[in-house]
Amino acid sequence: MAAPPDVLSTSIDAIRSSQARQRPIVMVTCAADGLPWVCVPDCGELRVIEDRYLRVAIWPDDPAVDDLERGEPVLLIVTGPPDVHLIRAKARRLTDAAMVWAHYDLTITSARTADRGTTPYLDARTEALNSTVPR
């Protein structure tokens, strides 16, 4: 599901703003054992290339490289006050990178702002679960 242009634009602006202010951007991948792996690229290691394209450089022995090589999706968590942006992407390794880093192009597949507050979002599964729990 693609992001509406205004949400995508706002998310890209949040990445640029986070980098300019040196606020961390969290990159989450899925390890082979199914658990999430968190990587926090330093400023300069994650760049906006175009509206739907980012580039990330990762140290070659970082476990995130294994995840990306397996084709695992990427989740970027970006704070852009007052919002938190959730950006999903697919990675493609750049084979001719000039440095020792593992370089990947990230193609954004969706972007949205995170739900805020303490009230959980109820969907049909949650409501079904709640109806089976004795009170």
- Segment 58-117, tens digit of pLDDT: 988 899 999 999 999 999 999 877 889 999 999 999 987 667 888 999 999 999 998 876
Summarised one tens digit per residue, pLDDT across range 36-49 is: 999 999 878 999 99
Confidence grade of residue 121 (pLDDT, cut at 50, 70, 90): low
What residue spans define the domains of the chain? Answer: 5-132
pLDDT, residue 80, reads 77
pLDDT, residue 120, reads 53
The top-level CATH class assigned to 5-132 is mainly beta
Confidence grade of residue 118 (pLDDT, cut at 50, 70, 90): low
- C-alpha distances out from residue 106 to 7, 43, 45, 128, Å: 17, 16, 12, 37
| pLDDT top residue among 129 and 116 | 116
Summarised one tens digit per residue, pLDDT across range 16-36 is: 888 777 788 999 999 999 999
pTM for the full predicted model: 0.78
pLDDT surpasses 80 at 4? no
Confidence grade of residue 130 (pLDDT, cut at 50, 70, 90): very low
